[in-house]
Amino acid sequence: MASPPRFRIGYAFSPKKEQTFILPSLVDYAKLHGIDLVRIDPRLPLLHQSPFHCIIHKLYDQSWVQQLRDFASLYPDVVVIDPPDQISRLLHRDSMLQVVNQITIPHGDERIEAPRQVVLHDLDVVAKDGLHAFRDLGLKFPVIAKPLEADGSSKSHDMCLVANDSGLKRLSAPIVLQEFVNHGGVVFKVYVVGECVVCVTRKSLPDIAEEELEKLEPVSNFSRISNSAAPGYGETESFGGNGEGNVEMPSLNFVMNVAAGLREAMGLTLFNFDLIRDSRDQNRYLVIDINYLPGYAKMPNYEPFLTKFFLDVVHKRTAGGDSNSSYVNENEVVFC
C-alpha cells in the first residue's frame, strides 16, 4: 500500500517571527497530517533548498523579494503565499486602509468604514498654526498617533493617544493621526486564513467622555494594549449572540463579508484585521488596522487552522481539491 503523499511547505521568517509562529505544536500537528514545515535560509539560493510545494514568507528586504520573484518565474507550480507586491500596501499606514472603502456589504444594517486619518510629514506646520490648522485636517481630539511604517518592527507598534495640541508638539514626523472612536473598550480581532475566519475579543482603549478629555495627559502611550484579553470577555467567543460582559459579537454574515471583501481587494490570504463598533452607532463598524501574517499562535486552536490551510493550498494546486469545510470543538467555531 502506497504511503500518503507528503508536502514541503517552506517558510522564510525573521528569527523572532519564526520563534512565535513555528511552534513545536504546529510542526508536530502538521507533520501528522502530511505537511513538513521547512525553514528557508534567505541568504542562500532558493534553488538549492527546494523542492517546495508552497512557500510562505514575511521578509521585506529587496534581495529576498527579487529572489522569490526569480524562483516563482522558474517554478510557477510552487504556490507563493502571498505575492510581495500585494503585501507591500500593508507596510504603510497611509495605504493600508484604502481597501476598506472597496468593500460592499450585500444586505443588513451593519456598515463598514475606515476611520478618518491624515499623514503628517511636517509637524512644525501644525505647531505653528495651532489648533485651527489641526481641525482643518478634519480631526478633533483625542486622536490616535501611529507610525507611518507598519513593517512589524517594535517601532511600528509605538502608538499613543493624543489629547490636545500640546501633545501634538511632542510627536515625531512622519506620523499618522487617526480619529478616535469610542468603542466600548473592546476590539474584535478577526483572523483570516484563506477562506476560514475566526473572531475573538481583546481589550482596547476605554471610552472617553468629552468632559474627561481635559484630565488626560497630552500624550498617553498604549503600545500593544490590544494584545491582552479584555477582563470578563472570552478569547474564543463565537460569532453571533451576546458575549460575556454584554459585548455583542458582530454577526457571522457581516464579519464573513468584510473578510471576503478585504481578501478580494488585497489579493491576500493570510492576515488579520482589527474591528471596532462605534458606541454611538451600533451598526457602524470600523477597520482600524490590518496586519499581514499576524501572530496566529495567539488564536485558539491555531494548529489545525493553519494545517488545513496548507493542505487546501497544495490539494488545490495538485488535484483541484475542495477547500470548504469547518472545524468545531467545545471552545470555538471556525467558519470556512
Binding site annotation covers 184? yes
Determine how many CB atoms are found less than 10 A away from the CB of residue 310.
24
Binding site annotation covers 58? yes
**71 lies in the same domain as 124:** no
**251 lies in the same domain as 292:** yes
What amino acid occupies position 328? V
Q: What whole-number percentage of the chain has pLDDT above 90?
A: 63
First to last CA, the chain: 32
Binding site annotation covers 70? no
Binding site annotation covers 33? no
**24 lies in the same domain as 34:** yes
- What value does the mean pLDDT of the chain take? 85
Binding site annotation covers 157? yes
Binding site annotation covers 247? no
Binding site annotation covers 186? yes
pLDDT at 207 over 50: yes
Binding site annotation covers 66? no
How far is the C-alpha of 72 from the C-alpha of 76, rounded, in Å?
5
Binding site annotation covers 289? yes
pLDDT digits (tens, 9 = 90+) for 271-293: 999 999 999 999 999 999 999 99
CATH assignment at residue 322: 3.40.50.11370
- Residue range of the domain that includes 151: 98-232+247-298
Binding site annotation covers 242? no
Give domain status of residue 127, yes or no. yes
Binding site annotation covers 140? no
Binding site annotation covers 99? no
| pLDDT (0 to 100) of residue 129 | 63
**292 lies in the same domain as 308:** no
How many angstroms separate the Cα of 32 from the Cα of each of 7, 47, 174, 275? 11, 27, 47, 34
**292 lies in the same domain as 304:** no
Binding site annotation covers 298? no
Binding site annotation covers 179? yes
Binding site annotation covers 128? no
**221 lies in the same domain as 319:** no
Give domain status of residue 238, yes or no. no
Which three cell numbers mark 220?
Answer: 498617553
Binding site annotation covers 211? no
Strand order in the sheet with 111-113: 111-113, 284-292, 270-277, 186-193, 196-203
**36 lies in the same domain as 181:** no
**Domain count within the chain:** 2
Residue pair 270/90 in contact (Cβ under 8 Å)? The answer is no
**16 lies in the same domain as 53:** yes
Binding site annotation covers 180? yes
| pLDDT (0 to 100) of residue 233 | 39
User: Higher model confidence: residue 69 or residue 120?
Assistant: 69
Among 22-31, 133-142, 175-184, the range scoring the smallest mean pLDDT is 133-142
